[in-house]
Chains A and B, each alone.
Chain A
C-alpha cells in the first residue's frame, strides 16, 4: 500500500491537454496587470546559486476546501463556522458507539462541480475509504476520505499571472479531487500545541464538515505561481458557490510541498511540506523563503541537511521552522469504508451539472480580453464573481465597456471600500449605472456631475435621471441659453474682452469660468467654448 503523499513521488505522468493549446493562445499576454495582494515577487523561475548551478524549485499544493453545505458530510448537524464549542454535534460526528455515516448528496454535487471546473475526469463510480490515525480531534480514530478511487482526477487549472511580475498565462495540472470530512479542533491551555500544553479541550463543531481535497501536479516553480494557483482555486470555488474560500477562517487551507533541483535534472529533490499560511501573500513569501533556504543549503554543499519534514510558516519572523520529521512515513492503513456504499453517478447527472455551471473565471477573462479591455482591467473585474456579474449586467445594457469598467473599478469600488461594503450590498443597480454612463455620454450631464451624484445612487437607490432632476443638475445644451449667458458675461467684463481681443487669448479660461459659475457648472463645455469663441473673435 502506498502512502498518502503522492503528489511529488513521480514526474507528472499525464501531460494535460491545456499545455499545448491554451498556453499557445495566452502565453504572451503582456498588458499591464493588477495584483490585489502581492507586494514583492520572485519573477524568475530559477535561482542561480553561487556555485554556478542553476536551481529550480518544484512546488506541489494540496488544498483543503471546506464546503459551504448547510449540514455536515455524514450527519445532519449544521456545518456553520463560529458556533459555541460542541454546539453542532451528534452521535455520528462525535463517533459515538453504534453511529453510522450517511453521505450528504450536496457534497457529491459540489465535488462534481469543482471537478468539472477543473476539467477533470469524473469517476462515475468512486468509493470512500478510512484513513486511520489516532488524534484527540478525530472522533472515530479514522477520517472518512477517498483513497485509490477519488471522485475526479487528471484535470488542470488556468492561471493569469499579474503583469507587474512579468505577467503571462500558466496552466497547472490537477492530480485529483477527492471528498473527505474535516476533523475537530483542539484548544490548548499552557502551550501552542498538544505537546507541551498543560491541558487541551476538544471542539467537535468542525468534525465531519465536508472538504474537497485538491491535489496539484508538482508544476509550480515560484512562490508567485503557487500563490496565483491558490488564488485561482479560491476564485473557482467562489464562482461555483461551493465554499467561501476564506483562508483566515481556514475554509481554504493549502499545504505546500517544496523541493529544489539543478535545472534540467529530472529527479526531484527532497521535498519539504509547509503549513500554516493564512493568505496568498504569506504563501508566496513562505515558499520563496523556503526555496532560498534550500538553494542556500545546496549552494553551501549542505544539501543533505534538507530533510523530509513539515515546516511551519511563522508570520512574525517571516521564516519557516521545522515542526516534525516525516521520515518514518505514517501508515494510514487505508481500507474501503464498509459503512458507505459506492458513490455512483450517471453521465446524465454529470452532463446536467456541467450545463448548470456558471461562466468560470478563465472564460470570463478571455471574454473580457476580447472586449478590448486591458489585462489589468480584466484581472480586477473577473477577480470577484459578484463584481463580474455586475459588470456583465451593465454592459448587457449596451453601455460603453471601457466606461463601465472605469466606473466599477474607480469611483464605485472606492466608495465600497470606504463604506466596507460588497457590491451586492449597495442599492445601485447595474441598470442605474448603465443609465448614468449613458447620460454622460449623450451630454445630459458632465462626468463631474456624474461623480457627484453617484453616492446618491448607491445609498438611496434612485436612478441617475431622478437624481439629476431632483437637483436640477442636467446639463445646459441649449445654444440660445448659453448665448445669452455669454453675452451677459461679455457685457459685464469689457476690460477683459479688450485684453483678449488685444491678444491675451489665455483669458478664454476666465470667461469659461465665469459662465460655469453663474450656471452652477451645468453648461455643456464643448458648446460653451464654441459659442464663446465665436463671440469673442467677431
Chain B
C-alpha cells in the first residue's frame, strides 16, 4: 500500500549512550540548530522573498504529498487556507506590514477537538461525524486574529482518550519516523503533521500527556501550558479540571510564539487565569551571544521515581541522563529529586479523568447535534446513538467514570483521588522550592508499533505514568527532543520533559531553547520518497 522508501536525511548518528559529550564535540560542525519555522516565514514575508500564498501552497503541496502515508489530517482546508493567505499578501502589498500579526501567513494545523466554524470538528469521534460548530474556540480565534492560515484539522484519539491516536474513529496516523509506528496521542495528528512538515506548527490539547508524549514520539517540541493559561472555551471537554490547550512546533521558539498568541484570560472560561502574559519569545536569544555556561546557577532536579521504574526502557533513560549531562555542561546543576507520592498519580488520574469524562460526554445524546440513531422511545434513542457513536476506549472510560461517581463508591474513588491529587500538588510544590525545573522522561518508551498495545489498555495507561501528574498539579511542561532510541530505520526520537512551577512557562521556554540550540543533534523525521 504505502511505499516506504525511507531516506535518512542529515540525521545525527544515534549517540553512543556513554559518550554524549564527546559526540557533541565531534558533531559540532555538522549540527544544524533547530530554527523557528514561524520566524522564518515572517522574515521571508517581510523581505518579500516569498508571498503568503507561495508559502501556503508549499505547505499544502507537502501536506497532500505526505498525507497518504501519514494520515494526520481529518479535514484539509486548502481553499480557505489560500484565501486567508491572499488576505495576508493583500495586507502586505498595501504596506500594512506593521499590522502583521504574530502568525501572519503561518500555515497551522488544529487538533480536531478544537471547535472551528469553517471546518468540521469531530473530536475524532463518530458521534460528531459531519458536525460543524457555530463558533470558533478562543484559541482558534486568537490564531486567526494573529493572521494564521489554518490548513486543517488533525487526527486524534477519540475525545483525547488514548495515547496512540489509534482510538480515532476515522483513521490511524503513522509516525513520520517509522510508518509502522504510532505517533503517540492523543494529539498524534498534530505531532505527526509538524514532524512531517505538513504545517509549520499545530495546536493540541493535553489532559494527561496528549501533547508531550506525541511530541516525544515524533521528535518535535511540545508545550503543555499551566492549567488556566490558555482558554478552554471551544475545546471539547474530556476532563475539565485537567484539560489544557497547548502547542506543538519544530522548535522551542515556535511553541513560544504560538503560546504568546493563544495565552491569556478569556471571559468565556471562568477557569482561565488573569495572570499577565509575558513576552515569551523576548528572552529566546540566539545562542551565539551566550556565555559558555549559559545555565550557570540554574538548578534542575531529575525525578527519581521516573527513572527507577522498571518500565522505563534503557534507551529512554540513557537519553534523559545524557540530556542531564548536557545541562551540566551548560553550567546547570542536576540533582536527583524524589516525589514520594509520584506512583499514586496514575491511578488517581484514571479515576478523575474518566469521572469528569463520563459527565462531559453526557451531552452527546443525538438530540441537538451529531448523528441520531433510531430508538423505540427516547431513552433507547439515547442509548443507541451513544452505542453507535462512541468507540470502545471512550465507552470504557465512561463506564469507569460512571462507576467511580456512583452512590456508595464516590468516597472510595473520586474523593480519595482528589486527596491524592492534593498530595501530588504538595510534592511538586515542595520539590520546586528546591530546584527551578524538574526533569523526567516523557514516556517509558519511544514510539511503539501500531496495534502493539491496542488489546491491552492497561499497558497503554501505564505509558501515561510520567505525564499525568503534571496535569493533576496543573503545572507547565515543555518537551524537547533529547536523544535517539533504537528502532525504525534511523532510530526513534526521545523527548526530555521539563516541568516548572505554575505560570513558569517563560523560564521553561528560555531553558528549553538553550538546551535545544546547544544539543548537537538533529531531529528531522526521515523524509518520505515515493
Taking beta carbons and an 8 Å cutoff, which residues of A are in contact with B? 1-3, 91, 94-103, 130, 132, 134, 136, 139-142, 194-195, 200, 202, 331, 333-335, 338-341
Contact = CB atoms under 8 A, between A and B. Distances in A.
A2 B407 CA distance: 7
Interface of B: 113-115, 121, 123, 128, 131, 133-135, 137, 232-237, 239-241, 267-271, 355-356, 358-359, 361-365, 367-369, 377-379, 382, 402, 405-408, 410-411, 414
B356 A140 contact: no
Given A96-B133, A134-B365, A102 B268 contact: yes
A531 B492 CA distance: 124
Nearest 5 CB-CB pairings of A with B: A141-B362, A338-B240, A338-B241, A333-B405, A98-B234
Nearest to B159: A97
B270 A102 contact: yes
A446 B353 CA distance: 81
B367 A136 contact: yes
| Centre residue among A3, A96, A341 by max chain B CB count within 10 A | A96
A141 B359 contact: yes
A278 B123 CA distance: 44
A95 B131 CA distance: 14
B10 to A, nearest CB: 41
A97 B368 contact: no
The DSSP consensus for interface residues of chain A is loop
The DSSP consensus for interface residues of chain B is loop
A25 B246 CA distance: 65
Contacts of B128: 97
B96 to A, nearest CB: 32
Given A100-B269, A338-B356, A1 B410 contact: yes
B359 A98 contact: no
Contacts of A130: 359
| Centre residue among B123, B128, B410 by max chain A CB count within 10 A | B410
| Centre residue among B123, B133, B358, B378 by max chain A CB count within 10 A | B378
Contacts of A139: 363, 367-368
6 contacts: A96-B133, A97-B131, A97-B364, A98-B235, A141-B359, A202-B368
Given A99-B233, A339-B237, A340-B270, 15 more contacts: A1-B407, A97-B128, A97-B133, A98-B114, A98-B234, A99-B234, A100-B232, A100-B270, A134-B382, A141-B365, A200-B378, A202-B368, A333-B402, A335-B414, A339-B270
A425 to B, nearest CB: 39
A98 B233 contact: yes
B122 to A, nearest CB: 9
A98 B237 contact: yes
A97 B365 CA distance: 12
Nearest to B134: A91
B379 A134 contact: yes
A335 B414 CA distance: 9
Given A140-B363, A142-B359, A194 B271 contact: no
Contacts of B369: 96-97
A142 B269 CA distance: 18
A100 B137 CA distance: 11
B100 to A, nearest CB: 29
Contact of A339 (B134, B271, B405): B271
Contact of B137 (A1, A95, A98, A202): A98
A95 B382 contact: no
Contacts of A141: 359, 361-363, 365
Contacts of B377: 194-195
Contact of A202 (B134, B358, B367, B402): B367
B123 A97 contact: yes
Nearest to A103: B270
Given A333-B402, A335-B414, A341-B271, A98 B133 contact: yes
Contacts of A100: 232-233, 268-271
Nearest to A95: B363
Contacts of A101: 270
A231 B367 CA distance: 38
